[in-house]
Amino acid sequence: MLKKNPRVILAPSLLGADYLNMEHDIKEAIKHGAKWLHFDVMDGQFVDNLALGVGLFKKVRARFPEIFIDVHLMVGAPDKWTNKFAQLGANLVTFHHEALRYKAAKKLIKSLKLNYPKLHIGVAIKPKTNVEQIYEFLQDIDVVLVMSVEPGLGGQSYIDNSELKIKKIRDYINKNFLDCFVEVDGGINDRTVDRVVDAGVDVVVAGSYVFSGAGSIHKACNRIIHGDKKNSI
Ligand code: DX5
Ligand code: ZN
């Protein structure tokens, strides 16, 4: 797994990029310290929206062969898509806990590990899902993704107290010496980032703030990666 540098890994969400200038936006983010790219896939069923598909993924992978790509599957049938993105060169594939029953999720994780030994595997939880429900998966996965907005749209407001869920998972991971990253996704900007970093998150996803919320991609990346206590609340 990639190490934190210096306080947090930034995963800019391409959902928030300028689609007509995506190459430029990605280059800027990488130039200013983004180590991952977050790629949101929505099927119009698990969430009420359609987003980024296989065609775009292939282009991004080909243009940026070295970057770590984090695929967030907001789809009702993750087993249909995990293999596809793994084959196309995703580094991390995250599916939603709410999309699969316990046995099916365990089975999927097992088969992904067997077939793609280098692939990192993540499980995401929606804001209303209790953290206790994913404890039993933490020993088998690399990343737990805590949604701090309802999945489906960029540009929403951070749901207050999401950092409490992060803290709870962080404590559980530390207490049990598990090797699992905590990632947060939704409503992260200059006013909310320090709360999630203080709660112990390893990876911060940010879309609208990075690509249009701070005046420049450079400024947004700096703020998230390096912090700036004087502007936080
Ligand atoms: C929302 C997506 C997010 C989204 C975040 O369902 O999973 O990755 O792009 O966007 P912001 O950072 O604008 O909340
Ligand atoms: Zn996402």
Closest C-alpha to ligand 1, atom 9? 154
What pLDDT, on the 0 to 100 scale, is given for residue 6?
67
Looking up tokens 């207490």 gives 175
Question: pLDDT, tens digit, for every residue of 59-102?
Answer: 999 999 999 999 999 999 999 999 999 999 999 999 999 999 99
- 228 — pLDDT class (breaks 50, 70, 90): confident
Give me ligand 1 centre to Cα 13, in Å: 6
With a CB cutoff of 8 Å and minimum separation 6, the contacts of 161 are none
- pLDDT tens per residue across span 151-173: 999 999 999 999 999 999 999 99
Q: Quickly state the pLDDT bin for 182 (edges 50, 70, 90).
A: very high
CATH 3.40.50.150, domain 9-231, yes or no: no
Report pLDDT digits (tens) over 39-54: 999 999 999 999 999 9
For residue 233, pLDDT beyond 50: no
Atom of ligand 1 nearest to the CA of 152: 6
Residues designated as active site: 40, 185
Mutation test residue for ligand 1: of 18, 40, 162, the one with most atoms within 8 Å of CB: 40
Q: Is there an atom of ligand 1 within 6 Å of 82 CB? A: no
Q: Where are the domains of the chain?
A: 9-231
Question: Among 25, 42, 153, which residue has the most ligand 1 atoms within 8 Å of its CB, making it the best to mutate?
Answer: 153
pLDDT of residue 206: 98
What is the value of pTM for the model shown?
Answer: 0.96
End-to-end CA distance of the chain, in Å? 31
Q: CA triplet 92, 176, 7: central angle to 5 degrees?
A: 55
Confidence bin at 4 (pLDDT 50/70/90): low
Which ligand 1 atom is nearest residue 14's CA? 9
Per-residue pLDDT reduced to its tens digit, 107-136: 999 999 999 999 999 999 999 999 999 999
